[in-house]
């Protein structure tokens, strides 16, 4: 019998038991859908985090003060003198600062207007401009501070803003940043107030800096520069490189994907057992038919291929349906999660709904599509092997036992 005839006969047998076939195909599709949907979320989050870190640059090293003693200008000068260092950007970050009209605390950051470009990667403004590097009460505010949950503006360029740090401060808003969506390693730009570094130093007793961004001359010597900084400051500072963080993110997301694959694999076990059960029932129901086919000259190999092709069709249809559903659900889930979690946050009275959740675009990886499809085919073919072998071993005379 020709391969095309075997496929047509297999398809006809599947159509004869439509409900049974549809349920088996959907059981296969569930596993494929789960793998594609969940892996797309993890891959999308990974890409979003790496892109966010990339704004700081892969050659960036973050030096954070440990303890209560801030960095001094002498510390900055020593960093500039280290071999392999191309740029040093000191910052002063004050956490848990209150702003009039907001329930959530924000971060107050003193940084040079020149260095803020290195910090943000690019300065995206929706109103006003960047402040001047003069010791004046100017403020460049984040999107979530300037815009409320309904999209209405709280603050615009030229308006005063009251900030409660160590003492109440009245600043003049000179610019409003666009929505960045994702948080950088140090702070989320959407919930930060940037101001001139020299003015910020006047607010802190003794001046000094809490964070220093160090740019290595090249990505290759980042580890060497980080080691030199560690020798320089010892226990005074916490040193983290963007390169190390990126490697950690990739490692963690890979482990999460492996865990998700293991969880989704349980659905394939259920689909495999279901396929085995249904195929065995199909063999028992068609004993007379198999006997007639063999009496007409069909070989054992033909019967084996007939039932294996049924399993292949179930695996193929289940994989295609799972692929379509997985791609659709991946984007739907990425759209719904910020709304659901953002709504839960607002329901709790936290007051920062819009823009709080880090948004990302799902990334549907061909690797995980291949893994899902290959796994579904393998499980279904393995489940079909024993029923197909049993069918191929039937003899025409055995059909006489069934009426």
What tens-digit pLDDT sequence spans the chain (403 residues)? 676 766 776 777 777 777 877 888 888 888 889 889 888 888 888 887 777 777 777 888 888 888 778 888 898 999 988 888 888 889 888 888 888 878 888 888 999 988 888 778 778 888 888 998 888 899 999 888 888 877 788 888 889 998 887 778 889 999 999 887 655 556 788 888 999 988 888 877 666 888 888 888 888 888 888 889 888 888 888 888 888 888 888 888 888 888 888 887 777 887 888 788 877 877 777 777 777 777 777 777 777 777 788 888 888 888 899 999 999 998 888 887 766 665 444 333 333 333 334 567 888 888 889 888 888 888 888 888 888 887 777 666 555 555 4
159, two tokens? 């308006």
CB 155 within 8 A of CB 173: yes
Helix (H) or strand (E) holding 367: helix 366-393
Q: Are 242 and 57 in contact (CB under 8 A)?
A: yes
pLDDT at 343: 46
What is the separation, in whole angstroms, between the first and last Cα of the chain? Answer: 26
Cα separation, 271 vs 318, in Å, equals 10
Tell me the three state secondary structure of residue 105.
Answer: coil
- d(CA 207, CA 366) in angstroms, rounded, equals 53
Whether 145 and 99 have beta carbons less than 8 Å apart is answered as yes
Task: State the pLDDT at residue 348.
Answer: 39
- 77: tokens are 């000068």
Q: Give residue 325's pLDDT.
A: 92
pTM, rounded to two decimals: 0.68
């Amino acid at each position: 019998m020709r391969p095309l005839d075997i496929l047509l006969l297999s398809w006809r047998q599947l159509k004869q038991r439509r409900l049974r076939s549809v349920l088996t195909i959907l059981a296969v599709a569930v596993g494929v859908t789960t793998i594609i949907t969940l892996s797309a979320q993890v891959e999308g989050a990974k890409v979003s985090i790496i892109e966010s870190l990339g704004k700081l640059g892969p050659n960036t090293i973050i030096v954070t003060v440990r303890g209560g003693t801030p960095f001094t200008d002498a510390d900055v000068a020593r960093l500039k003198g280290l071999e392999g260092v191309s740029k040093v950007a000191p910052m002063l970050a004050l956490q848990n600062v209150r702003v009039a009209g907001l329930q959530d605390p924000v971060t107050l950051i003193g940084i040079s207007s020149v260095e803020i470009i290195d910090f943000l990667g690019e300065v995206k403004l929706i109103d006003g401009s960047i402040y001047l590097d003069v010791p004046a009460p100017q403020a460049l505010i984040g999107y979530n501070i300037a815009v409320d949950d309904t999209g209405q503006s709280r603050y615009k360029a030229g308006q005063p803003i009251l900030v409660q740090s160590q003492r109440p401060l009245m600043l003049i808003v000179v610019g409003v940043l666009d929505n960045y969506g994702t948080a950088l390693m140090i702070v989320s730009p959407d919930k930060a107030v940037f101001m001139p570094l020299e003015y910020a130093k006047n607010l802190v007793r003794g001046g000094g800096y809490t964070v220093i961004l160090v740019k290595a001359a090249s990505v290759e010597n980042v580890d060497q520069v980080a080691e030199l900084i560690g020798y320089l400051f010892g226990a005074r500072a916490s040193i983290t490189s963007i390169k190390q963080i990126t490697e950690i993110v990739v490692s963690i997301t890979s482990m999460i994907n492996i865990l998700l694959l293991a969880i989704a694999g349980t659905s394939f076990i259920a689909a495999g057992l279901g396929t085995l059960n249904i195929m065995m029932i199909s063999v028992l129901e068609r004993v007379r038919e198999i006997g007639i086919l063999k009496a007409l000259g069909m070989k054992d190999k033909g019967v084996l291929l007939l039932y294996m092709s049924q399993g292949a069709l179930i695996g193929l249809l289940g994989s295609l349906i799972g692929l379509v559903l997985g791609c659709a659900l991946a984007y739907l889930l990425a759209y719904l999660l910020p709304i659901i979690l953002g709504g839960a946050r607002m329901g709790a009275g936290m007051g920062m709904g819009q823009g709080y959740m880090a948004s990302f675009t799902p990334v549907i990886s061909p690797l995980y599509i291949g893994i899902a499809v290959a796994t579904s085919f393998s499980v279904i073919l393995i489940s079909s092997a024993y029923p197909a072998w049993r069918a191929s071993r039937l003899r025409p005379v055995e059909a006489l036992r069934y009426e």
